[in-house]
Structures are given as structure tokens and as C-alpha cells.
Amino acid sequence: MIMDLSAVKFDEKGLIPAVICDYQTNEVLMVGYMNQEALQRTVDSGRTVFWSRSRQQFWIKGEHSGHTQYVKWIRLDCDGDTLLVGVEQVVAACHLGYRSCFFRELRDGQWEIIAERVFDPDQVYE
């Protein structure tokens, strides 16, 4: 499918932040970056595809862990510079074993873990 990109504003590096959330509850699971090709691959495959800024390569969420994300919808914010992607998350989004990458909360000046691990990363990532 050819996608209309006229409203999408990629930054000077050709990237746009993609906030990934549970498509039913809107719980934020993670944030990644997409370039035009990653966005097109996401649309075409129905799975989230990101551009790794550190490794300078594409990656598909769950390609190593099996913890895939199935895209249910994609939304663009009012400025056109951030995506919100609703997904069905298999197991967990966080490579540290939590459902969401946002498992720490600032409480009394300290970062406190507020979630339970749903898998042992040592068993998944060898």
C-alpha cells in the first residue's frame, strides 16, 4: 500500500518518534524511532519495525525474543512529528523483562520499580 506521507514530519535525521501502546488500554509500552522505510515496513507487515539509531539498522520488535507487536492502528499527532502506534503485545515490550519499558516511577526523589517482571531476560537473550 502506498502511504500518504504529506502530513508526516521526519526530523533532520529522517526519523520520527513512535510511541508504542497497548491498543486496548493505551498503556505506553515503549518508544522507538522510525524512518520512512521502517514506517512503510510496519504498515506493510503489520508488525512494528524500527530504525536503531545506535546500530544504524532496521529491527523488528520480537525478532529475537518472540515478543512481537501486532499493529492494530497508527495515529499521527497534531504537529505531524510523533506517531502513536496501538499494538497487540505478545508477552512484553521491555528487554529487561517488564511488560512496559516504563516500569520505574519517581517517588520521593528515587526511581522505584512499580511493576513485576513477566519474563527472565537471561532465559531469552543469551
Please tell me whether the overall predicted TM-score, pTM, comes out greater than 0.75 for this model: yes
Name the residue type at position 68.
T
- CA 115 – CA 53 distance, rounded (Å): 27
pLDDT of residue 30: 98
| Ordered DSSP codes for the chain | -----TT----TTS-EEEEEEETTT--EEEEEEE-HHHHHHHHHHSB-EEEETTTTEEEETTTTTS--EEEEEEEE-TTSS-EEEEEEESS-S-TTSBSSS--EEEETTEEEE-S-BSS-HHHH--
Below-70 pLDDT ranges, the chain:
126
Q: What's the pLDDT score for residue 60?
A: 97
What pLDDT shows up at residue 19? 98
Question: Which one, of 2, 39, 45, lies nearest residue 17 by Cα?
Answer: 39
Domains of the chain: 16-121 (3.10.20.810)
HSE of 27, CA atoms in CB hemisphere, 13 A: 15
